[in-house]
Amino acid sequence: MKPNGGVRDLTTRRERKKRETREKIFNSAIKLFKEHGFEGTTIDMISEEADVARGTIFLHFTSKEAILANWGYERLHEIEERRDEWDIDDDCKAKVLRIYKIMNEVTINNFDFIKVVVESSMKHRKVLESEKNMYFELRQLFADLIEDAQEKKQLKSKFNPLVAANMLENIYYNALYDWVRSEGAWALEEIMEEKVSIVFEGLHTD
């Protein structure tokens, strides 16, 4: 019988290999989405670019839409991993803006891909279906922050945290849409900050 350490090492190697394969599929898909658009990219093209079998792709992603939606889930995972960068005080508005900043670090440097994400979300119901849990998780994160601030008497308690969180979520995604329409010329972070400030003007206690 192998020692437990050997079993753990084998499991770790398998997990690392699985993660590397998933990342290779995702990065290959991003490259193709940028070059050919979402509609113009097929699973077979992704399979060839990533140098993996077609069936291997479906072990990691249920569909082409799920590959596209993975971008958003990675951003949410990054937000959680970098909590110590944004959850550093009791200022709810500042936390929201720091979260936006983390999300925008990747967004601003990947205009072509974000354009594919936004346009595909507008055109294809399946893409929206793949992304709906991501939207819910971001909304719930904002709602938790707002509710915590309400309990500390920093924000008005009469407002439903989920409704306010939905407004903050919409600010982000609407800003992305306008940014894409402007071909990246729109001042993304500045406009987001201005809109968030307007929301918090209404939420703050007198």
Which of 61, 85, 102 corresponds to the end of one domain? Answer: 61
Q: What is the pLDDT of residue 163?
A: 95
CA gap 30, 111 in Å, rounded: 12
Q: Are residues 102 and 14 in the same domain?
A: no
Which of 61, 87, 109 is the last residue before a domain boundary? 61
111 and 201 belong to one structural domain: yes
**Are residue 76 and residue 57 in the same domain, yes or no?**
no
Verify that 88 and 165 share a domain, yes or no: yes
What is the reported pLDDT for 59? Answer: 94
CATH number at residue 37: 1.10.10.60
Among 40, 61, 82, the domain-final residue is: 61
pLDDT over threshold 90, residue 72: no
7 pLDDT higher than 60? no
Average pLDDT of the chain, as a whole number: 89
Which pLDDT value is given to residue 6? 59
pLDDT at 158 (0 to 100)? 92
Which whole number is the average pLDDT over 57-70? 91
75 and 44 in a single domain? The answer is no
pLDDT band at 80; cut points 50, 70, 90: very high
pLDDT (tens digit per residue) in 9-41: 656 888 889 989 999 999 999 999 989 988 899
Q: What is the pLDDT of residues 137-192, one digit of tens each?
A: 999 999 999 999 999 999 999 999 999 999 999 999 899 999 999 998 988 889 89
Indicate whether 27 and 6 sit together in one domain. yes
Residue-wise pLDDT for 103-137, tens only, equals 999 888 888 888 888 888 888 777 777 777 888 89
Q: Are residues 189 and 102 in the same domain?
A: yes
- Please check whether residues 19 and 109 belong to one and the same domain: no
Look at the pTM and tell me if it is higher than 0.85: no
* Secondary structure (DSSP) of 110-158: -HHHHHHHHHHHHH-HHHHHHHHHHHHHHHHHHHHHHHHHHHTTSB-TT
Instruction: Give the pLDDT score at 1.
Output: 47
Domain residues for the domain of 16 are 1-61
Identify which of 148, 129, 141 has the alpha carbon closest to the alpha carbon of residue 166.
141
Are 29 and 119 within one domain?
no
Q: Is 50 exposed, middle or buried (0-12, 13-18, 19+ CB in 10 A)?
A: buried
Label residue 8 by pLDDT band (50, 70, 90): low
- Which CATH number covers residue 113? 1.10.357.10
The total number of structural domains in the chain stands at 2
